[in-house]
Structure 1
Amino acid sequence: MKISVYVLAAVSFVVGTVELIIGGILDLVAKDLQVSISTAGQLISIYSAILAFASPILLNLTAKFERKRLYLYSLSVFLIGNLMAAFSPDYSILLFSRVLLALSNSLLLVLPITIATKLVAPSFRGRAIGLIYIGISGSLVLGVPLGMVVGRAFGWRYIFLILSIFIVISIIVVFFLLPKVTPEPALPLRQQLATLKNKKLLSTHLVTILFLAGHFTLYAYLTHYSQEVMNLSNSLLSFLFFVFGIAAVLGGGMGGWATDKWGTSNTILTVISYFIPALILLPVTTHFLPVFIINLTVWSLLSWALNPAQQNYLIKAAPETSDIQIGLNLSASHIGIATGSAIGGVVIEQSSVFFNPWVGAFITFVSLGFAIYSTRPVSARKYLAYQHLQK
């Protein structure tokens, strides 16, 4: 694997930490800014909603930019948003900083994937994508748990100050080590959305939305769930996120490997089929911590194993519009995250966080139906008709 792919994975680790850390410190933010947990949760849902709709628009507007230069510009804006979060005096300013972070991150999440797939041979695409997601999920192993420790020891603002240093380092590393990547001609946004007329592609994006909605119905409030249902101490809570992160890293790599080894369709269906019972069993295992940790590990493994398979499926299903589909799938991912975070907040307000895993499992079950439909073999006649439509 080329060193440039590892660079992209390392930068994705930093970017992922900025995005994901908020879920681990919601209680600290809520207490400091004097808002409720569900209100603090909007920092996740609004962030994801903006990212979802900004991604295809910004990708289209920046289609003619050389990819490395665009990556550097995006990292610079990301740095400004991160510093604004660190010094935000109230909730409204912090929310605005999340908007700025989301806008820049809408490019920072897509560019590493599209760049990586252009730097490696087709037979290594699944592993390259998996490596990028290892970088993102790696932020769960070190970034989020260490951030939680720093936040509880010195205050949550110090997390963003430290991350700003790493963003500066990322800008320097990308400048010197990432090669230039020529952009490909982009279709107008209307034509991009027209690709969704293909029912299988649309169904694939719906799988992403529903799968992540089910996941984030609980994950966005995992800290609150662990404190309310299991009454875990701060040290155990950090350990729990550390275990989750290790499993996520392994899951991202496992998903890439399984995609190359067994194919996209088999990987997608297997991951979702096992993910549902993992969520259902979580509340049942809360009374015995070792079993709960085992179940949480399986949940984390599977939550990150789907991404490489989904991305590779879209590249193979629509090679002529692969960049578009990856961008649209990023939007779908964050629509799912925003939806799940919002639903989770409603469940907490109306009932109890105890039920969040079961609500998430039901949403994920619906995604399995779309996955079965989207992975069915396409007849040669329908495939040729779709290719004719693209031309």
Structure 2
Amino acid sequence: MSTPGKPAGGPAVRLRLPAHGSGDPEPTRSGGAGRGTRRRSPLPALALGAFAVGTDSLIISGLLDRVAADLAVSPASAGQLISVFALLYAVGAPVLATLTSRGDRKRLLLVALAILVLANVLGALAPDYRVLMASRVLAAVGSALYLPCALAVAVAVAPVHRRGRAIALVAGGLSAATALGVPLGTLVGAVGDWRLTLVLVAVLAALATTVLALVMPRVETPAVVTVRQRLAAAAQPGVLVALLSYLLVMAGEFTIFIFVAPVAMEITGVGTAGVGVFLLVWGVAAVLGSAVGGRAADAFGGTRAYAILVAVLCAGLVALTLLALFTPRDSRVAVGLLAVLLAIISMSAWGVSPAQNHRIASLDLPEPTVAMSLNGSFSYLGLSLGGVAGGLAMEHGSVVALALTGVGAEVLALALLAGSVVLLRPARRGWAARDRRIGPTGGR
């Protein structure tokens, strides 16, 4: 993720990835079909698994009202199903990646998807809130096992000159989940039952499991990145502040996204099917935002693009607050304005991801890829924080309080960004002076 649904890499950053093993991996050949017979690429199947993971992580957001009514809990409590999933993913992904680093990649991917299938079947059959929460914990474990491993396999099976595209294809499954999977699941839940959406995710994960079992080659175990190495990367100059700022940006975004169903229903009076349309607008804008963020980082630099996009996101949340305060309910004007504002919020929030990677890659770091891999965990931490803060706002306030909570998170993110720029200015001057001494062909 990477974010929920946001890849760790971005189009604005080009990194030279190390080769695995003794050299560049050759296309895998099947052992029993004879020389020259190519095995089918596992990348589409890996992307399908990522699509299932991304859809599973956020699919309840459009159905909070139905889940809450069925299980006799408040929408805020239903929202915590997403927050707990995100928190466990954020903490579990780097730990599980380290603990399972010596295991067989194919077996690990199949086990992870099997856990996801089991979790969603359990959730679909859950008789009460506690069992559904347990199913979300299990789903978080499966997702945290799957996604880091899938991205590592994408690197391992692709030649060096195609690794960026391989990562983009697998990570594209997450983007597609936001653009298509979540709104489709919401529409399915509107026509049928919210439990049917979990069955849909289970079917997707089972399909990915079957295809991977058929086409996945044997993959060399990648080099281990320990938890200590990740913590050391986070302690590098500027990295921790950048990650904390990114966490706040994600918290502000997901404060709204997780509770988009009650927001849309209160402002416009639409039903669950209408919420699905708003989620489709959000998803399409997210895809566009990823492209815009990469181009903006190339054109203006990572830090400047990041600041502009966060400012736009903050302005969108302020406008959403005003919409909730002053626009007449159940009007066509409210429907149109909400769609426009959700598109602006989504596009700017998803544009932040490649700008964030560009910022970290531009720092003077010995292992920038390790530091960038932390973006996914901090993105999910932000999602969890947004769910908790949004739940409190909904329990004790209103949609206006919810939007203002998002605004507060973005203001804090901008303040951290400003502070980091001031603190790193002397270091940047030192790096620039060193680069002038080394010359354009020197360095690492």
Query: Is TM (by shorter chain) over 0.5?
Result: yes
Task: Report the CA distance shift for 1:123/1:263 in structure 2 as closer, same or farther (over 3 A).
Answer: farther
Cα distance in 1, alignment partners of residues 147 and 394 from structure 2:
30
Task: Report the CA distance shift for 1:168/1:114 in structure 2 as closer, same or farther (over 3 A).
Answer: same
Matches within 5 A, 1:185-196: 185-196=223-234
Is the 1:134–1:249 Cα contact (8 Å) retained in structure 2?
Answer: no
Q: Which residue of 1 aligns with 2:344?
A: 298
Q: TM-score normalised to the size of structure 1?
A: 0.86
Secondary structure, counterpart of 1:32 in structure 2: helix
Q: In terms of mean alpha carbon deviation, does 6-15 or 292-301 score higher?
A: 6-15
Q: In terms of mean alpha carbon deviation, does 1-10 or 28-37 score higher?
A: 1-10
1:221 shift after superposition:
0.7
Q: Which one-letter code corresponds to 2:259 in the other structure?
A: Y
Q: CA RMSD in A?
A: 3.0
Q: Which residue of 1 aligns with 2:397?
A: 351
**For each residue in 1:179-214, what CA deviation from the matched residue of structure 2 results, as whole angstroms up to 9, or x when unmatched?**
554343324423432332213111121122111111
Q: In terms of mean alpha carbon deviation, does 242-251 or 310-319 score higher?
A: 310-319
1:120 shift after superposition:
6.4
Cα distance in 2, alignment partners of residues 67 and 256 from structure 1:
31
Higher helix share: 1
Q: Which runs of 4+ in 1 moved over 6 A?
A: none
Task: Report the CA distance shift for 1:235/1:86 in structure 2 as closer, same or farther (over 3 A).
Answer: closer
Q: TM-score normalised to the size of structure 2?
A: 0.77
Is the 1:138–1:246 Cα contact (8 Å) retained in structure 2?
Answer: no
Is the 2:364–2:431 Cα contact (8 Å) retained in structure 1?
Answer: no
Cα distance in 2, alignment partners of residues 73 and 185 from structure 1:
21
1:346 shift after superposition:
0.9
1:248 shift after superposition:
1.3
Q: Which residue of 1 aligns with 2:123?
A: 85
1:144 shift after superposition:
1.9
| % identity of equivalent residues | 30
Matching residue within 383, 401, 410 for 1:364: 410
Task: Report the CA distance shift for 1:174/1:315 in structure 2 as closer, same or farther (over 3 A).
Answer: farther
**For each residue in 1:261-292, what CA deviation from the matched residue of structure 2 results, as whole angstroms up to 9, or x when unmatched?**
65433432332121111111113345322233
Task: Report the CA distance shift for 1:62/1:320 in structure 2 as closer, same or farther (over 3 A).
Answer: farther
Q: Which residue of 2 aligns with 1:15?
A: 53
Q: Which residue of 2 aligns with 1:330?
A: 376
1:330 shift after superposition:
2.0
1:86 shift after superposition:
1.3
Q: Which residue of 2 aligns with 1:264?
A: 302
1:170 shift after superposition:
1.0
1:23 shift after superposition:
0.7
Q: Which residue of 2 aligns with 1:143?
A: 181
Task: Report the CA distance shift for 1:132/1:187 in structure 2 as closer, same or farther (over 3 A).
Answer: closer
Secondary structure, counterpart of 2:210 in structure 1: helix
Matching residue within 80, 103, 122 for 1:65: 103
1:56 shift after superposition:
1.8
Q: Which residue of 2 aligns with 1:241?
A: 279
User: Could you list the runs of 5+ residues in structure 2 that have no partner in the other structure?
Assistant: 1-10, 12-26, 28-40, 328-332, 435-444
Q: Which residue of 1 aligns with 2:74?
A: 36
User: Could you list the runs of 5+ residues in structure 1 that have no partner in the other structure?
Assistant: 385-391
Higher Cα Rg: structure 1 or 2? 2
Task: Report the CA distance shift for 1:271/1:70 in structure 2 as closer, same or farther (over 3 A).
Answer: farther
1:296 shift after superposition:
1.4
Matching residue within 151, 162, 182 for 2:220: 182
Task: Report the CA distance shift for 1:65/1:315 in structure 2 as closer, same or farther (over 3 A).
Answer: farther
1:329 shift after superposition:
2.4
Q: Which one-letter code corresponds to 1:371 in the other structure?
A: L
Is the 2:234–2:371 Cα contact (8 Å) retained in structure 1?
Answer: no
Task: Report the CA distance shift for 1:184/1:157 in structure 2 as closer, same or farther (over 3 A).
Answer: same
Is the 2:108–2:146 Cα contact (8 Å) retained in structure 1?
Answer: no
